[in-house]
Amino acid sequence: MQRRHFSTAALACALLTALPGASALAQAWPNKPVRIVVPFPPGGATDIVARAIGERLQAALGQPFIVDNKAGASGNIGVAEVVRSPADGYTLVMGAAQTLTINHQIFRNLPFDPQKDLDPVVVVASVPNVLLVASKLPVKTPQELIEHARHNPGKLNYGSSSIGGTPHLSAELFKSMTGTNIVHVPYKGSAPAMQDLVGGQIEVMFDNLPAALPQIKAGTVRALAVTTLRPASAAPELPTLDGSGLKGFDSQGWFGLMAPAGTPQAVRERLNAEVNKVLATAEFRERLGKLGADAVGGSIDDFRQRLRSETERWGQVIRAADVKAE
């Protein structure tokens, strides 16, 4: 696969010489449907956030924003498709911590680098992860789960949405901090893993809160704690793992729009501005809150800095747990 790379000097020169055209391009964009690729199956948190923001962008910009689920290979198939797409602003990917900062650290010979072959646009939302257990499991608190797992080493299974996602790494961090042996069962997405948790085929799962909330509210699974340092606004009754004896436990998912490398800066800046307008509205922030997510927003450079810091942070967890793609 050929990567699109630009030197800083060449890019600066191109922007300066093409500024009037770039401005006109940004004003004309979009003049046809925009596709948002979600590299996971429908029903997960990435999909939920993509559909919510796509609906608002369609209303604001007057063109369809079509969510296209391209699942597989822990999100790599969908990201690769966007990397290969024209850099014209009409194909975007709703990336996540996993696909943008983790996968390229655990998959060997990945044919692209998400931070070189994609350009950041904006971080849309962040979500807590939540520790869940099957209703049949006789535990009601994190400490009870820890004790049960310690007395049954290797007998409990935990599901994850995919290898290398923040739910997977949250579970590995939990195992490391508690000295427990819980067997990993990776799935192709959050929804099928949740189905097996509800059915009792697996006993434990970390998941993004928006994807898990319907089952939590229905009582088909039991939520024990959230993984952020503060309680979640959508589920304030749940304790944090940090406050349940696992001091310093902090993990969250987040979702951001990326475009193929070389997408005009003016187009990305306009899209960034439009998303920030949506995120600033009380109605949309309330909608995200009910889904279990928090609005983020910010500049393109803010997103670039998050990519760097999250890559380093999760890299430490990956090396400590010796996480590798299977």
Domains of the chain by residue range: 8-127+252-321, 128-244
pLDDT score for 3: 42
The reply to whether domains 8-127+252-321 and 128-244 share a CATH topology is yes
Q: What is the pTM of this model?
A: 0.80
Closest CA to 121 of 323, 310, 306: 306
Buried b / exposed e along 186-198 (16+ C-beta atoms within 10 A): bbbbbbebbebbb
CA–CA separation, 305 vs 155, rounded Å? 41
pLDDT score for 1: 44
pLDDT score for 25: 61
Closest CA to 186 of 177, 196, 176: 196
**Do residues 128 and 226 lie in contact, with contact meaning Cβ atoms separated by under 8 Å?**
yes
CA–CA separation, 205 vs 134, rounded Å? 8
pLDDT score for 22: 56
pLDDT score for 326: 63
CA–CA separation, 77 vs 83, rounded Å? 10
Domain 128-244 in CATH 2.60.120.330? The answer is: no
**Do residues 118 and 261 lie in contact, with contact meaning Cβ atoms separated by under 8 Å?**
yes
Structure tokens at 201: 């085929």
Q: Which residues of the chain have pLDDT under 50?
A: 1-19
User: What amino acid occupies position 105?
Assistant: Q
Question: Which CATH superfamily hosts domain 8-127+252-321?
Answer: Bordetella uptake gene, domain 1 (3.40.190.150)
CA–CA separation, 149 vs 182, rounded Å? 7
Preceding omega of 30 cis (within 30 degrees of 0): yes
**Do residues 166 and 126 lie in contact, with contact meaning Cβ atoms separated by under 8 Å?**
no
- CA 73, distance to chain mean position in Å, is 15
At 19-42, the pLDDT tens digits run: 455 566 667 899 999 999 999 989
pLDDT score for 21: 54
Closest CA to 150 of 174, 127, 117: 174
